[in-house]
Amino acid sequence: MNAEAAPTIDTIVVPLDESRFSERAVAVAARWAKRTDVPILLLSAVAKEDEVDHRRVHLLAARPRRLTVECDVIIDPDPADAVDIVLRDLPNAVVCMASHGRGRTAALVGSVATEVVRRRAEPVVLVGPAFEEERWGTGIVACLDEHEASAAIIPAVLEFSAWLSEPVTVITVAEPVPPPMTAGPPRRRFGPDDDVEGFLERIVDPYRAKGYELATEAVYDPVSPVSGVRTYLRDHPAALVAAGTRARTGLARAVFGSTTASIVHESSAPVLMVRRPDADTAT
């Protein structure tokens, strides 16, 4: 790990509506605030001025104790716009919010999370329905697919690694297949066709040459990449999972990709969503 990679994060912004589901993100923000001494901003949006006081009471009740927490209610019918407005004045903030991970449209826990991810060039942390605080583990798991362009998430992962003082393991999930009958690499439905371990080593070697400590692990699963990630997290509980986003449109599958959306939905750890440059090939 290289201390120079540490980001300048001075606020953890947690968008909330009045649902209990949206409050799942508060537990993540509280743990990070205790660890980094960074304040939390609980943010909510309402459509009318006469709803402000009621929503503020809800935010005050959701505050984690013994931490520096501010509450802000903005009058805006579009909650994603409200997040944008706040972040203009907080350039060094990270957004941490709940999401079903399947594009359901329910206030701040579905389409709004998708829209926030689409608009943000910076990484966004999503807390899905499978998040279990009691299974909080250690380390950051960076999930790559078979495209070398998926390595674009690693710089952001290294920054969060330095901020949270967590080690990084870079994984990719590949279908196990028998040796090919003819010359050439095996053909897989998912995962690199050639040497999977070699693929990972090629990805991390440039970062290791700069002094970063990165572990790698090839994960083999006969079902799917999501199944492989889920099994890996069951055996290796993580503090954070990282995955890439398409960030092209407001549609959940176009923003997240079907695999990434499912990782958000099924991950027992919060998921760091990092924008990828290869929108046409990201999964």
Q: So what's the pLDDT on residue 278?
A: 64
Q: So what's the pLDDT on residue 9?
A: 93
Span 22-38, average pLDDT: 96
Q: So what's the pLDDT on residue 247?
A: 52
Span 8-25, average pLDDT: 94
Span 20-33, average pLDDT: 96
Span 173-184, average pLDDT: 81
Q: So what's the pLDDT on residue 255?
A: 42
What's the CA gap between 77 and 268, in Å, rounded?
Answer: 32
For the chain, what is the mean pLDDT? 88
Starting at the edge strand found earlier in the chain, the sheet holding 271-275 runs 69-75, 40-46, 11-15, 93-98, 124-127, 271-275, 240-245, 140-144, 168-174, 214-220
Span 66-79, average pLDDT: 96
Catalogue all structural domains in the chain, each as residue range(s) with its CATH number.
3-129 (3.40.50.620), 134-275 (3.40.50.620)
What tens digit of pLDDT does each residue of 76-117 get? Answer: 999 999 999 999 999 899 999 998 765 433 333 457 888 898
What tens digit of pLDDT does each residue of 224-244 get? Answer: 999 999 999 999 999 999 999
